[in-house]
Amino acid sequence: MKSGSAVEARPFGRLVSLDVFRGATIAAMLLVNNAGDWKHVYGPLRHADWHGCTFTDLIFPFFLFIVGVAIVFSLGRQQEKGTDRSSVVAAITRRALILVALGMLLNLLGLFLLPWSESFRPLGVLQRIGICYFAAALLTLYGSPRGLAVCFVILLAGYWALMHFAHVPGHGPGDLTREGNLASAIDTRVLGRHCYEFDAETGLGHEPEGLLSTVPAIATVLSGCLAGFWLRRKDVGGGTKAAAMIGAGAVLIGAALVWNQWFPLNKNLWTSSYVLFSSGWALVALGACYWMVDVRGWRWWTTPFVVYGMNAITAYVGVAVVAYLTIGIKIPKEGAEPVFLKTWLYNHAYAPVFGQISPYLASAAYGFTYVLLFCAIMWALYRRRIFLKV
């Protein structure tokens, strides 16, 4: 075995394909979150305007799915060690609270640095991860795979019923528009101007990581938990595991496309069909990755993704802080208003070079710089075996 390979360097007992999948997901998240020019973004790197699903719309649910797989492996190791259940609950609670707190701190930083921020946003990506992790981990700790499957169905069916039958004042039941849906109505009532989007004139708000839509997001994590139980089985061969995951993913994708006719794919609302669709693709992706990396042993290409996967939250938080700083810091400009550091960098280093080919390429190249820069940073941490966990 070559020194420094992904196989040799991983901690004992880790599923390498899961680290690879997590690392690829985080790298994609950094790319799509940091466009150089938001007016010039390739279609697949944009979120769907409302209904529909792009490549970018799959990234966050992929990460939640991965959280679910990791929960099963983590709890399995704790069970094998004989760790007291109350200690496990305490560790789950601590991790969830740290994730929520990190998300709030990032939003607080954004409130001070981003010129368009007018009010504190209490919810966000890390907050949703923390809440969903907490709920799914407790269900997994006290439940069984069959029980998780039942919960998965109940959460998706219950959310569909609420969104379809509950009456929204001024809009009635079943309205899935941005202004008239139940999830946004609840977020507007509870959070008001603290929503991610808020129109002061109409008093309407929308929160993509909102309160009610977190319910089906928990189901996304549970789908990962079910995949984790399948991967931990010792009575099934690796090739069979991979094939079954890919097959199950295809079934979920098909079911989602059928349900899409009545309950459209929508990331903003995290609709039940969207959960099936994104979880289906996550199963296909992880199944293929598992077959290549852990079954066939094709690991020569995995190290850049492993180093990201081993410090995923660190990379996400680090990039967010740097991105905020590039907008919060202004560069003086003679005879004119100061410009954001991001604008200065983009206009001097990216637009003149890549913009000659395409402004879309220049915008993507800016985001890809974050991916490369933090890959180098995560690689340095990895070589020193520094893994910053929450």
pLDDT digits (tens, 9 = 90+) for 31-48: 999 999 999 999 999 999
Region of poorest pLDDT, from 6-10, 282-286, 333-337, 385-389: 6-10
Residue 13: predicted pLDDT: 53
Reported as a pLDDT band with limits 50, 70 and 90, residue 3 is very low
Beta strands in the chain (DSSP E): 167-168, 172-173, 197-199, 204-206, 330-333, 336-340
| pLDDT > 70 fraction of the chain, expressed in percent and rounded | 97
Output phi, psi for 272, to 5 deg.
Answer: -60, -40
Residue 246: predicted pLDDT: 98
Instruction: With H, G, I as helix, E, B as strand and everything else as coil, classify residue 362.
Output: helix
Report the amino acid identity of residue 227. Answer: A
- 347 contact partners, CB below 8 Å, separation of at least 6: 339
Residue 72 predicted with pLDDT over 50: yes
Residue 5 predicted with pLDDT over 50: no
Q: Report the alpha-carbon distance of residue 179 to residue 167 in Å, rounded.
A: 13
* Among candidate residues 195, 33, 206, the one with its CA nearest the CA of residue 123: 195
Rg of the chain over Cα atoms, rounded to whole angstroms, equals 21
Residue 359 predicted with pLDDT over 90: yes
Residue 2 predicted with pLDDT over 90: no
Residue 4: predicted pLDDT: 37
Inter-CA distances, 88 with 84, 134, 141, 142, 325, Å:
7, 11, 9, 11, 37
| HSE-CB for 250 with a 13 A CA cutoff | 7
Do 98 and 185 meet the contact criterion of CB atoms below 8 Å apart? no
Q: Read off the pLDDT of each residue in 319-342 and give the average, rounded to a whole number.
A: 89
Helix ranges (H only) for 192-340 are 214-232, 238-259, 272-290, 303-310, 312-328
Q: What share of the chain is helix, strand, coil (3-state, %, to 5)?
A: 65, 5, 30
- Model-level pTM? 0.93
More confident residue, 328 or 153: 153
pLDDT digits (tens, 9 = 90+) for 182-215: 999 999 999 999 999 998 888 889 999 999 999 9
Residue 361 predicted with pLDDT over 90: yes
Residue 179: predicted pLDDT: 87
Q: Report the alpha-carbon distance of residue 273 to residue 252 in Å, rounded.
A: 9
Give exposure, 44-70, as e/b (b: 16+ Cβ within 10 Å). ebebbeebebbebbbbbbbbbbbbbbb
Do 188 and 195 meet the contact criterion of CB atoms below 8 Å apart? yes
* Among candidate residues 160, 275, 287, 144, the one with its CA nearest the CA of residue 227: 287
Domain ranges (residues) in the chain? 59-297
Q: Which residue has the tokens 């169905």?
A: 153
| pLDDT > 90 fraction of the chain, expressed in percent and rounded | 85
